[in-house]
Structure 1
Amino acid sequence: MDRREVAAVLAYTGRLDPRTIRTGTGEARDQIAQWQELLDDVPFATDHGWDVREAIRTHILDSPYPILPVDVARRWQAHRRDRLDRHTDPTPEADPDDPAAWRTELLRTRNAVAVGVAAPSTHRQLTSEGRPRDIEERLREIGSCIPPEARAQLARYRPARAARETAVASGVPDALSVRCQWCHAPAGSPCRQRRTSPDGSVRGNAVRATPHPSRIHLATARLDRQQGV
């Protein structure tokens, strides 16, 4: 801010808090010089969220102490940091093979955001050619959010799920949709290969790649009832 803007700020502050008013000509001149020295790089207002009058009004409402120029400078620095923290550098239009031009454009964009000339770029957007289609439309088209090639690669790491998907695809009832009465696995969880010792304690609890036959029969009976067979 220049001296004229600082004088306007002090006049506004004096209306809200008379304790800051300096009646003597020399005192007023020294006050303007002090404020202008500390607020030289602080803008009066920007197009994106900063107004020194709002900062002064907020301080007077929140603090019982008279406002000092350093209070305004600190609020501006906090506002500036907040803008830069919310800014994610958009990809420069400069040639990436020209590091100097690339860096210059990045710094110019950041400085514009910092001083309030430009709004922060708060997120990076994934774009592709053509108009983006609705997510539900894409899922109906491909049938799953996991591509078939990736699903095939994952099958060896998820044998129980792979067996379940294969059974459903072939028309066999989903055995995991019901609770297993043999191993007591809840619906949605794979069966367990439970081994017991002679005294009745459990010695093993490994996951089975396929459901227990009784669970398959139970799921089949349930599906038949739903279909009215």
Structure 2
Amino acid sequence: MDRREVAAVLAYIGRLDPRTARTGTDEARAQIAQWHELLHDVPFTTDHGWDVREAIRAHVLDSPYPILPVDVARKWRAYRRDRLDRHTDPTPAADPDNPAAWRTELLGTRHAVATGMAAPSTHRQLTGGPHRDIDARLAAVGSSIPPAVRAALAPYRPARAAREAAVAAGRPDALSVPCRWCHADKGEPCRSRRLGLDGHARGNAPRTRPHPTRVDLAVAKLARQEAA
């Protein structure tokens, strides 16, 4: 705050608590100089929750003692600490191979949050979004999983590998429809279920290949989509 803002703050305090008012010119100037010395780096208001008048009003309501400039400064420091505690440093857009630019942007964001110029970023995974070049990277590789990694994982997930192979070969995706034979849901592999003498199912092992009836349903679905 500059001296004019400090004078306005002192006038506001005098209306709420006449004990702090100074009637003499010299006393008023000395009071303004004292308050400005301690509060020159404290803003009058910010766009995100800070208003020095709210801090003064809260002190007058909560404390029987006249407010001092250190009371306002302490409330401002508590406001800064609270905002930085809720901030999670979103990834800078600067090139990470340029440490100076990276650090400058990071510190600039923290300063903006601490001084109330920007809101804290509390969930960068949710609010930051994907990196700006993620679409270009996916277009280059064709998938979020590189082909070499996908091939290495194929023996450990045979149902998924068979499904991907069928789609790549132009055949219908059997797992895109539920199975009427074993009642597997969409996306779930078929199960090898045997009926016992009591009529109840025995065994529930996943199958690498879907049941033929499920394949027929997938073929019919694909035909309907092509006809439409």
Shorter-normalised TM range:
0.5 to 0.7
Partner of 2:154, secondary structure, is helix
Q: Which amino acid aligns with 2:216?
A: H
Q: Does structure 2 conserve the Cα–Cα contact (< 8 Å) formed by 1:192 and 1:208?
A: yes
**Partner Cα separation in structure 2 for residue 58 and residue 145 of structure 1:** 51
Alignment of 1:146-157 (within 5 A): 146-157=145-156
Paired position in structure 2 for 1:202:
201
Paired position in structure 2 for 1:173:
172
Once the 2 structures are TM-superposed, how far is the Cα of residue 51 of structure 1 from its aligned partner?
10
Paired position in structure 2 for 1:81:
81
Deviations 1:60-81 (A, max 9, x none): 2797446733652342122211
Q: Does structure 1 conserve the Cα–Cα contact (< 8 Å) formed by 2:177 and 2:185?
A: yes
Once the 2 structures are TM-superposed, how far is the Cα of residue 164 of structure 1 from its aligned partner?
0.3
1:44 to 1:11, Cα distance in 2 relative to 1, 3 A: farther
Once the 2 structures are TM-superposed, how far is the Cα of residue 160 of structure 1 from its aligned partner?
1.2
Q: Does structure 2 conserve the Cα–Cα contact (< 8 Å) formed by 1:6 and 1:32?
A: no
**Could you tell me the TM-score, scaled by structure 2's length?**
0.62
Where structure 2 has 5 or more consecutive residues not aligned to the other structure, the ranges are none
Paired position in structure 2 for 1:98:
none
Paired position in structure 2 for 1:99:
none
Q: Does structure 1 conserve the Cα–Cα contact (< 8 Å) formed by 2:83 and 2:114?
A: no
Once the 2 structures are TM-superposed, how far is the Cα of residue 211 of structure 1 from its aligned partner?
0.6
Q: Does structure 2 conserve the Cα–Cα contact (< 8 Å) formed by 1:175 and 1:216?
A: yes
1:209 to 1:50, Cα distance in 2 relative to 1, 3 A: closer
1:43 aligns with 2:50: no
Partner of 2:193, secondary structure, is strand
Higher alpha-carbon deviation: 80-89 or 144-153: 80-89
Alignment of 1:51-200 (within 5 A): 54-57=51-54, 59-60=56-57, 64-65=61-62, 68-69=67-68, 71-85=71-85, 86=87, 88=89, 93=100, 116=115, 135=135, 138-200=137-199
Q: Does structure 2 conserve the Cα–Cα contact (< 8 Å) formed by 1:160 and 1:209?
A: yes
1:139 to 1:93, Cα distance in 2 relative to 1, 3 A: closer
**Partner Cα separation in structure 2 for residue 171 and residue 227 of structure 1:** 13
Q: Does structure 2 conserve the Cα–Cα contact (< 8 Å) formed by 1:5 and 1:44?
A: no
Q: Which amino acid aligns with 2:53?
A: I
Q: Which amino acid aligns with 2:197?
A: P
Once the 2 structures are TM-superposed, how far is the Cα of residue 214 of structure 1 from its aligned partner?
1.7
Deviations 1:77-101 (A, max 9, x none): 222113433263977539xxxxxxx
1:155 to 1:120, Cα distance in 2 relative to 1, 3 A: same
Paired position in structure 2 for 1:215:
214
Q: Does structure 2 conserve the Cα–Cα contact (< 8 Å) formed by 1:180 and 1:212?
A: yes
**Partner Cα separation in structure 2 for residue 117 and residue 57 of structure 1:** 15
Once the 2 structures are TM-superposed, how far is the Cα of residue 163 of structure 1 from its aligned partner?
0.8
Once the 2 structures are TM-superposed, how far is the Cα of residue 19 of structure 1 from its aligned partner?
4.0
**Could you tell me the TM-score, scaled by structure 1's length?**
0.62
Q: Which amino acid aligns with 2:196?
A: S
Give the aligned CA root-mean-square deviation in angstroms.
4.8
Deviations 1:3-38 (A, max 9, x none): 9986663233224x244544577xx78x959x85xx
**Partner Cα separation in structure 1 for residue 201 and residue 59 of structure 2:** 66
**Partner Cα separation in structure 2 for residue 223 and residue 109 of structure 1:** 54
Higher alpha-carbon deviation: 152-161 or 117-126: 117-126
Q: Does structure 2 conserve the Cα–Cα contact (< 8 Å) formed by 1:84 and 1:110?
A: no
Where structure 1 has 5 or more consecutive residues not aligned to the other structure, the ranges are 95-101
